[in-house]
Structure 1
Amino acid sequence: MFLTLCVPFTAIDYAYPKWVLPTWTCNMINYLQHSSAYFSVWTLTLMAADRFLAVCYPVESMTLRNPTNTCVALIVTYTLILLSQIQVGKIHDVYDYTFIAENRSACSIVSIAKGEASVTEARIYFFAFNIFGYVLPLGITCVLYYLMLKKLWYTPRPGGGSSKNTGSIRSRPETIRAKRKVTRLVLCVVVIWAVCWFPLNLCFFFSGVVYPDTLVMRGGKPIVIIQISSQVLAYANSCLNPILYALVSDNFRKGFIRVICVAANRLTFASYNGKQ
């Protein structure tokens, strides 16, 4: 959803000097782009919470971690996000401006682009994305994964009554391999997500700091390159995740191959019936 809504329309916006799409799409696209960005990060946070419960409270959380509660958690989270981003969609519009004697237009927050919004309003917009789209979910995710990894590495396994037994269980090759796989996957997902989204959040932060000036006014062409690069890097994270899971997780690879095999069998069966 994030790649489908963000990448094509951002590419069109960069490629043309004017907003070539219908005016109403400006509000809709920004509403869905912001919403999908929050969907991505808070889904990762919910996944972290699920893994934390599975590892740290495997028995106690058995009744809590079920498909019904998962759907409820997702519906509540996504509904709150959709409601919170309505105002973001409303304040976006097509902004007409002149650049080196050339008439141009872009989809943006007109009041901020013109410098008419108050400093408080502008900073609420920029800093809210920093806090609720990066710092808070990343902080929660890191704490949950830290507790999970601590539990995996330092909690004695059942049956390890003595220190000798505990040490032998911990040092078993299969146990060590399993710990390393989980640790590697967790660290890769969190670190890559944090790195990919950090430059864009930095741009948002400094945009709020320098307002009513803009980063382009302060830094010129290099800032434009940095802003575009930071946006591309953030989008790249959604491209990297499936590749990352496939490289690191055996279960992901097996599940993906199973889905492909089932789909291929169904297509073959349907083709056979059609010929019959």
Structure 2
Amino acid sequence: MAFDRFVAAMYTGRRFITQRKPYCVFVVLAVIWTLSVAISLPWVFIMRHVQFKWTFGPSTSECIVLRHEVKRRAYGTVYFVVSYVFPVVAIVAMVSHTLWKLRETPTRDPDGIFVGVHNVARKKLVHLLLVVFVVFIITWSPLQILMVWDIYRTTPTSAVPSSLRLSYFKYLHHIEFSVKLLAYANSAINPVVYCWKSDTVRRGVHDMLWGCAADRNHSRVSPVRTVTTQPTQMSR
């Protein structure tokens, strides 16, 4: 999304490759989803579902990492860099480049024709990109911080007293659930941000909802049968 907004801001009014060749959209989507699955797939092999039986409470089940500690830290670090650090750096670089280009763009061309309309459109897109970036930081940072803390913490679970271990796991479970819910809410917040900051998206949503309502109302109207009569020739 950040790259899409960057292209829209820097190449306003130009036809990009996905517009000249619509099938490229499906290729880009396939590459993105393939890379996403490939990056997340190792979690399936390094985590196991384990059930804990406690003396001071009911049994609980958790998905924990049972592999080598060095490998777990190595993969966790790579996952953190790819899924969080790289997107943040990329967004910051694209926004900075766009702002620098806007700073260099004159408000009038050599013939004296005012070209500020394009600058206004670009500034709106940059502002939208900044809002999306802030939302991304707010929603995903807690989960990433928790993950890094989990793979690099020096105090093992066995060091927690037995009487407090159940409460410790419940506390971590509630925190993990909360930060995951916040991170996954990013996908629901982004459409709201786009509707809020983009006139084009608002018009598209309005047309879509209005079109669905019009189709629904049209389907409720019963068809009217029309009868065509032809004049008959009277016999003399």
TM class, shorter-chain normalised? 0.7 to 0.9
In 2, are the aligned partners of 1:122 and 1:208 still within 8 Å (CA)? yes
Match of 1:127 among 62, 74, 77: 77
TM-superposed CA distance for 1:230, in Å, is 2.2
Structure 1 residues 188 and 55 mapped into 2: Cα distance closer, same or farther (>3 Å)?
closer
Tell me the CA shift for residue 179 of structure 1: 4.7
Note the C-alpha offset of 1:266.
2.2
1:190 aligns with 2:143: no
Q: Aligned match of 1:85 in 37, 40, 44?
A: 40
Cα distance in 1, alignment partners of residues 146 and 56 from structure 2: 28
2:204 is aligned with 1:204: no
Partner deviation per Cα, 1:38-59 (whole Å, 9 max, x = no partner):
xxxxxxxxx2223333433458
Higher mean displacement: 266-275 or 88-97: 266-275
- Out of 71, 86, 106, the position equivalent to 2:61 is 106
The runs of at least 4 aligned residues of structure 1 exceeding 6 Å deviation read none
Hey, what does 2:4 align to over in structure 1? 50
Query: What is the match of residue 234 of structure 2?
Result: none
CA apart distance, 1:226: 4.0
Amino acid at match of 1:260: L
TM-score (norm 1): 0.65
| TM-score of the aligned structures, taking structure 2 as reference length | 0.74
8 Å CA contact 1:245–1:252 kept in 2: the answer is yes
Unpaired runs of at least 5, structure 1: 1-46, 112-116
1:137 counterpart residue number: 87
Aligned length: 217
| Identical-pair percentage | 25
Equivalent residue number for residue 25 of structure 2: 70
Residue 52 of structure 1 contacts residue 147 of structure 1 at CA under 8 Å; is this kept in 2? no
Distance in structure 1 (CA, Å) of the matches to 2:146 and 2:209:
40
Per-residue deviation at 1:74? Answer: 0.9
Unaligned runs of 5+ in 2: 226-236
CA RMSD of aligned residues (A): 3.4
Q: Is the 8 A contact 1:94 1:105 kept in 2?
A: no
Q: Name the structure where helix makes up a greater proportion of residues.
A: 1
Distance 2:61 2:224 in 1: 53
Deviations 1:58-86 (A, max 9, x none): 58x73513222121111112123223433
